Amino acid sequence: MSFKSNAVIVAILSMLVVAPGVAQQAATPPGRATISLYRVAPGKHVEFLKWLAAREAIDKEIGAPPTQMYAHIDGDAWDYVAITPQLEGAAQAELDKKQEAAAKKKGLTTGPKQGIEIRQFVSWHTDTFVAGPLTAAQMVEAVK
């Protein structure tokens, strides 16, 4: 991943730190999330967004934490960023099972086939696993 892409991730995480409710999180351990960057293949933007929306509908149906989507306006070469909260341990494993069952029920792909299917819409993507949101002061305390 390039320095510029890393800078984008840091900027997005910085925006989340000032989001409502962050002050309440100071006393609790940071959450975990997956940050996905997507560069969509030429002419595939609408199809890609519909593909994501179908999976977003499943997440809503089963009560999964909502993914936050950001659209590129200016700067680096990515088109969309998705920030998906992750649950802890067994709770995430259970959520993954529910997502897979709901996707299969609706006739959507899952597993490795889903990984292949998404590649028809994107030139590249990357997933980064993160902890946060945290302030810089909280990160200093964590490394003491």
- The count of structural domains within the chain is 1
Question: What pTM was estimated for this model as a whole?
Answer: 0.77
How many beta carbons lie within 10 A of that of residue 45, not counting itself? 15
The span from the CA of 88 to the CA of 20, in Å, is: 22
Q: Tell me the residue range of the domain where 38 lies.
A: 3-143
The CATH number that applies at residue 44 is 3.30.70.100
- Percent of the chain as helix, strand, coil, to the nearest 5: 50, 20, 30
The span from the CA of 88 to the CA of 95, in Å, is: 10
Per-residue pLDDT of the chain (144 residues; tens, 9 = 90+): 554 555 555 455 544 444 444 444 445 678 999 999 999 999 999 999 999 999 999 999 999 999 999 999 998 899 999 999 999 989 999 999 999 999 999 999 999 999 999 999 999 999 999 999 999 999 999 888
User: Running DSSP on this structure, what letter comes out for residue 106?
Assistant: T
